[in-house]
A and B are shown apart, each in its own frame.
Chain A
């Protein structure tokens, strides 16, 4: 099973709303990532969790708050976002050793009004 799932598929929110993006994997991978991707650009790393601990935070504004409740789940909590935060948000996982491949979920298309 090489599946990473993300919900919701689409999200529209106002600048005062609080919402969460969810990611789930059952591959036993211990590294999970959040990326942000704008149109016609490559994905941009936001956060990395390794063994459920935050290992990398790429200077992301505090209006984005990641959470890793267990080894299968990764959340991204959103609060007071700006219109320029509208993008495709991608969750990804990484195996270890011979399975260093990074697998992406289908993404959440976020629109901030």
Chain B
């Protein structure tokens, strides 16, 4: 079967760094996404990794290891507005997105 695992909830402090992990087992792989979603709003695109390695975009970085079926999203210099759910999703061989259940990130002052 197809499966994506990520932690249900994480808590971090404003100004700190947090890493959200995602492991996947899918039928085929055409890339991995990270989305941010605030309650009641649509997912916002953060990153897309198709090759191994680290992609950095400002305060957010995303890492992929295809051999390990593993990715992480790294958020630096956390701000209160970063409190949201973070969704990991994989394009399978048919270009259907397989979603993780999302990680709710709580930022405390």
Contact = CB atoms under 8 A, between A and B. Distances in A.
A104 B50 contact: no
B48 A100 contact: yes
A102 interface: yes
Contact of B97 (A88, A102, A109): A102
B33 interface: yes
A16 interface: no
Nearest to B89: A42
Interface in B60-109: 87, 89, 91, 95-97, 99-102
Interface string A82-113: 00000010100010000011111111010000
Interface of B: 30-31, 33, 35, 40-45, 48, 50, 87, 89, 91, 95-97, 99-102
A107 B99 contact: no
Grouping DSSP codes into helix (H, G, I), strand (E, B) and loop, the B interface class, with mixed when no group exceeds half, is loop
Given A42-B101, A43-B97, A45-B97, 5 more contacts: A42-B87, A101-B45, A102-B91, A104-B45, A106-B42
A42 B42 contact: no
20 contacts: A2-B45, A41-B101, A42-B87, A42-B101, A43-B97, A43-B99, A45-B96, A48-B96, A56-B96, A88-B42, A90-B42, A90-B43, A100-B30, A100-B48, A100-B50, A102-B45, A102-B97, A103-B45, A104-B35, A104-B44
A92 B1 CA distance: 25
Interface residues of A, number: 21
Nearest to A96: B95
B95 A94 contact: yes
B22 to A, nearest CB: 12
Contacts of A41: 101
Nearest to B95: A94
